[in-house]
Amino acid sequence: MYVTPKRGVVDPQGAAVERALPALGHANVSNIRIGRYITLEIQEENLEKAKAQVEDMCRRLLANPIIEDYFFEVFANEPDGSKEGA
């Protein structure tokens, strides 16, 4: 899951990074948003049910939908240990 402040919401961390980057030679960067990256494992055979669970978790706890945007990716573990994205 990726959770970031909505556009228009004050992001003090993003603003601090944006002010510091020109001193490092990166004056062409703007609109920096600092957020969170969350990983978890769900024991669920049905991929659609897993997606619904993650959506519910984001909406009800992991993100504040009033001031934050979020998106997520769900990967199914294959028997050989590889992952299939959805």
Q: What is the pLDDT of residue 77?
A: 77
Environment class of 55 (CB within 10 Å of its CB; exposed 0-12, middle 13-18, buried 19+): middle
What global pTM score does this model have?
0.76
Q: Which amino acid is at 4?
A: T
Pick 60 or 76 by higher pLDDT.
60
Percent of the chain past pLDDT 90, that is, above it, reads 85
Contacts of 9 (CB under 8 A, 6+ apart): 67, 68
What's 54-70 look like in SS3? HHHHHHHHHCCCCCEEE
Across the chain, mean pLDDT equals: 91
Domain at 2-9+35-85: CATH architecture: 2-Layer Sandwich (3.30)
Note the pLDDT tens digit of each residue in 47-63.
999 999 999 999 999 99
Domain ranges of the chain: 2-9+35-85
